[in-house]
Amino acid sequence: MSQNLQLSPEDTERLIDATFEAQKRAYCPYSKFRVGAALIAEDGTLLSGCNVENASYGLSICAERTTLVKAVSEGHRKFKALAVICDMDENAKPCGACRQFMIEFGKYEVLLLKPDRSYRLTTSYDLLPDAFIPSHLEEPNHTH
């Protein structure tokens, strides 16, 4: 575990617990690959989500995006941290689409969990270097 985590030990445990609980709710009848995610919004609200598969594979949604969509739909736009766990014996690894989706909401800590509750600490920005971010769409940065 990292000494640089900005969350309190209590919030870190709360976040990790919620991530593992979310993983249990995954709907993955096709891949059998359970993923859970949870985040703590800037105001301390804890939200979680899981992957939800669909027979039309392209319509499936990852746990990270489920969690962020849930947060945004409940009025949250700024986050302290997001954690993710999956069915691998190594640290979870968000897909490229999730990394792009995560960075939309700025820089915050990301805990890439292992089944033993250890994690690798990174940030939403570090997961996707040279990302396309909202400020790139501001008037001075693009031509018509």
The 10s digit of each residue's pLDDT in 67-87 is: 999 999 999 999 999 999 999
Q: What is the pLDDT averaged over residues 55-70? A: 97
- Catalytic one of 64, 74, 90, 109: 64
21 is catalytic: no
Q: What is the pLDDT averaged over residues 86-106? A: 96
DSSP assignment string, 10-73:
HHHHHHHHHHHHHHHT-B-TTT---EEEEEEETTS-EEEEE-B--SSGGG-B-HHHHHHHHHHH
User: Residue 1's pLDDT band (boundaries 50, 70, 90)?
Assistant: very low
